Structure 1
Amino acid sequence: MESPGVEAEGLTGVGGGTTPPRVSRVRLATMGLLAIGVMAPVTLPVPVLRELVGERFQVSELLTSLFMSVNMIGAALTAPLAGALADRIGSRRPLVIAALLVDALCFIAMTAHVPFGVFLAIRFFEGCAHIFALSLLLSIAASLGGERGRGTTMGITGAGMMLGVALGAPIGGVLGRVDTLQPLVAGAGLLATVAALAAASLLDPPSTGHRPGAAAIWRTVKENRSIVAPLIFAFADRFTVGFYTTTFSLFASGLHGASPPQVGLWISAFMVPFALLSFPFGVLADRFSKTLLLCGGSAIYGVLTATLGFWPKEWIGPGMATIGMTAAVMFVPSMLMTTDLTPPQIRSTALGAFNTAGSLGFILGPLTGGLVSETVRASHGAASGYQAAFGVAGVAEILCALIALPYLLRLRASGRTS
């Protein structure tokens, strides 16, 4: 007998499994709560980035941006290993719990009085632990609901992820006003709580009955190279999000004089509609064209991002909300397309690759934003520096859509995705 709400998937490829029972509401809610808890610590420190890193260690804006990039280097290296390990041993739950506990310890360690290099090293390992937990949580979500219901489960999980990111920023801003280190302490406590919730409620999906070795996993990945299409979007999307979590924070506080709570509220204006609309767009992606959602959403999102640096202060709140809406259009469809294009026995590996592509984008996003803004600022002033940085981010997203569209249309015509 299967556990309630758990699917039984076949081995022959995408769509090759038996039709699973409907996923229970309790299990859907649990996946959403876990996703919130995993992602909220990501943005808890963002509103106090200048104080937490720049002023605390007396480093430049470019080096301050490393705080949001070095953990993604760890994530990029770890995500494919996490997915391959889960596909190899067939068990995800204990790995998720262990990774969450390591992540909590790293957050506490970052509050210690250490040299800047050691601080960044801790941040690197924090990124390793975080992406390990997130990749396997997404893998569990992708194993629920079957081919036709995966949009619902991935939509709930994706919405939880973005809601966690949205909640982290304003809470971090309020906590940081009292003590710059409080967002890190709160992040550690939240991650430990999520580990306890996972231990009590998270269930592994049923085994496929076959645990491929490393060589078999790599062979199957090479046979499914079409996965590169959604990975390009994962890279470009996280590249631009890197600007919103780092460059935007510095832009808001440095150019507009925004306080940490105000920075947190503006980031939430982006993240809340992103979170709330991820679920409906996930459901829509099951019934509509993922290709159109991805490319159309990316084009609009890119145009809005490219113009952000020119907006007057009073436009920033509603403008960020509009950008968040367009981001939601493409977020869950890109994850769903990843699962469309890979068979179930390597789904953890595929989602690990998805997170690796995203992590690489997130590495380059803050670094590019810091480099462009500082370079242009030196000759044309701070405002021009930030305008150039957001221009680069927006154009990158538009180019991604233009380059990927012909390939996606071919995949759609062949029936590989919608």
Structure 2
Amino acid sequence: MGSERRDRVVLALVVWSVLVSQVLLYPGLADLVPVLGGDGLDAATAFLVAEVAAFVVFASVWGALSDATGRRVRWVVVGALGGAASYLLLATLPALGAGFGVALAVRVVGGAFTIGAFSLAVTTLADLSGGNGRNMGAAGLAIGLGAALGAVVGGRLSTVDPLAPVVAAAGLLLVVALLSLTVTDRAPTGRNLGVGAIVRGLRSRPALAVPYAFGFVDRLTAGFFALVGVFYFRTQFGLDAAGAGVVLALFFLPFALLQYPLGVVSDRIGRFYPVVAGSVAYGVAIVGVGLAPSLLSAAGLMVVVGVFGALVAPATMALATDVVPDDERGVALGGFNVAGSLGFLTGFLVGGLSAESLGYLPAFLLVGALEVAIALVALRAVRALEPFERATRPADD
């Protein structure tokens, strides 16, 4: 349907805008935290953790709310408006003389709202027809491009004023609210699944543990590259921040641009090969970056990592929607986002601790091995899910 194609584009723009608003703050974090009353790396870490911790706690709440009410779009709008208000409040804290503790509290509240806009926009994509791989590929494309652009634009804005990215993020979330109002809500009538829906869902549908485990490890690798990757390229090859950003973009661009077409491929051939074989290749490529003897070879392998990441990500996310009925998609994807957020946090910890205590190469070996291990351990489990995902494939034209 033409309206569904339009809504797919609009929802992808919504997801993209939320990601840009989030990542805008990262490049200038060292300048922003002192303005808000914090000091040093510990304060910067707390600033990031406050938001992501709220993601973990509230993703399932929004999913349960949307499934219970049979509505998604209205809650996307509420989440976006709440996130915008939180960013605007954050920008005014220095003038109000508020301390860093207040800033952290605002970050928690903002994260609680923003994850609603993000998670339910992705779930609304999953409500569209045309194949879960296609729809999750659109989400993955938006996520990758949002992360890439947010880092570049945020860095430039922070040189103008440390608070400029915060104000820009608020403006973007207001745009998200307006865009979302134009989307047709196709959420099925849901059941009241409650705040503990993820735990109960895993008990009643243990198959969800499979995509959740892959989502956890995949996001762990993303957290690893976000923290360790930058330091690795700067110290190992003598790049400045701009150069390290360019190398990271070699991962982000193919990762973003290929997710939609590779998501469509997974609708056609099934999830098994993209998830299992893709994860093995992804893990090997990560190790290859750590083994690369030159900047040129490492940069080339970053492209390879992005390609295989784009093969795995939409198929894994689609698998989470394949194994549940339509009226449980919100909680299923909420759980997937919780697993992903936990993985991102773990990637910071595992990457940072292993790189500091063991060195860069062992850190790359460890993270790459984790990606390969999850594929080998869960191989039979993914194969067992084929009846679920076949039932969701679109008919051949």
TM-score calculated relative to the size of structure 1:
0.82
Within-5 A mapping of 1:164-183: 164-183=146-165
Within-5 A mapping of 1:223-234: 223-234=204-215
Q: Pick from 55, 61, 65: which aligns with 1:81?
A: 61
Instruction: Provide the secondary structure at the position in 1 that maps to 2:389.
Output: coil
Residues 88 and 168 of structure 1, relative CA distance in 2, 3 Å threshold = same
Structure 1 residue 93, shift from structure 2 partner? 1.4
- The range that moved more, 255-264 or 181-190, is 255-264
Residues 226 and 45 of structure 1, relative CA distance in 2, 3 Å threshold = same
Equivalent residue, structure 1, for 2:50: 70
Unaligned runs of 5+ in 2: 391-397
Equivalent residue, structure 2, for 1:107: 87
Residues 53 and 371 of structure 1, relative CA distance in 2, 3 Å threshold = farther
Within-5 A mapping of 1:115-264: 115-145=99-129, 149-199=131-181, 201-205=182-186, 207-208=188-189, 211-212=191-192, 214=194, 222-253=203-234, 256=237, 258-264=239-245
Instruction: Provide the secondary structure at the position in 1 that maps to 2:344.
Output: helix
Equivalent residue, structure 2, for 1:304: 285
Residues 85 and 241 of structure 1, relative CA distance in 2, 3 Å threshold = same
Q: Is the 8 A contact 2:187 2:327 kept in 1?
A: no
Residues 66 and 329 of structure 1, relative CA distance in 2, 3 Å threshold = farther
- Count of residues in correspondence between the two structures: 383
Q: Is the 8 A contact 2:71 2:187 kept in 1?
A: no
Unaligned runs of 5+ in 1: 6-21, 377-383
Q: Distance in 2 between matches of 1:390 and 1:351?
A: 29
Equivalent residue, structure 2, for 1:31: 11
Q: Pick from 325, 328, 331: which aligns with 1:346?
A: 328
Aligned residue identity for 1:388: P
Q: Is the 8 A contact 1:47 1:260 kept in 2?
A: no
Residues 98 and 398 of structure 1, relative CA distance in 2, 3 Å threshold = same
Instruction: Provide the secondary structure at the position in 1 that maps to 2:66.
Output: helix
Structure 1 residue 216, shift from structure 2 partner? 11
Q: Is the 8 A contact 2:124 2:187 kept in 1?
A: no
Q: Is the 8 A contact 1:166 1:271 kept in 2?
A: yes
Equivalent residue, structure 2, for 1:270: 251
Identity across matched positions, percent: 33
Q: Is the 8 A contact 1:174 1:261 kept in 2?
A: no
Q: Distance in 1 between matches of 2:179 and 2:195?
A: 35
Q: Is the 8 A contact 1:306 1:390 kept in 2?
A: yes
Aligned residue identity for 2:82: V
Check if 1:394 corresponds to 2:368: yes
Equivalent residue, structure 2, for 1:336: 318
Q: Distance in 2 between matches of 1:301 and 1:72?
A: 25
Structure 1 residue 275, shift from structure 2 partner? 1.1
Q: Distance in 1 between matches of 2:137 and 2:164?
A: 31
Structure 1 residue 178, shift from structure 2 partner? 3.4
Equivalent residue, structure 1, for 2:305: 323
Instruction: State the Cα deviation string for residues 319-366 of structure 1 (Å, max 9, x = none).
Output: 322211111001110111111100111111111111111111112111
Structure 1 residue 95, shift from structure 2 partner? 1.1
Q: Distance in 2 between matches of 1:388 and 1:121?
A: 37
Q: Pick from 364, 370, 382: which aligns with 2:346?
A: 364
Aligned residue identity for 1:235: F
Residues 256 and 176 of structure 1, relative CA distance in 2, 3 Å threshold = farther
Residues 216 and 161 of structure 1, relative CA distance in 2, 3 Å threshold = closer
RMSD: 2.7
Q: Distance in 1 between matches of 2:299 and 2:328?
A: 41
Aligned residue identity for 2:107: R
Q: Distance in 2 between matches of 1:262 and 1:177?
A: 17
Q: Distance in 1 between matches of 2:195 and 2:16?
A: 35
Q: Is the 8 A contact 1:47 1:173 kept in 2?
A: yes
TM-score calculated relative to the size of structure 2:
0.86
Q: Is the 8 A contact 1:221 1:346 kept in 2?
A: no
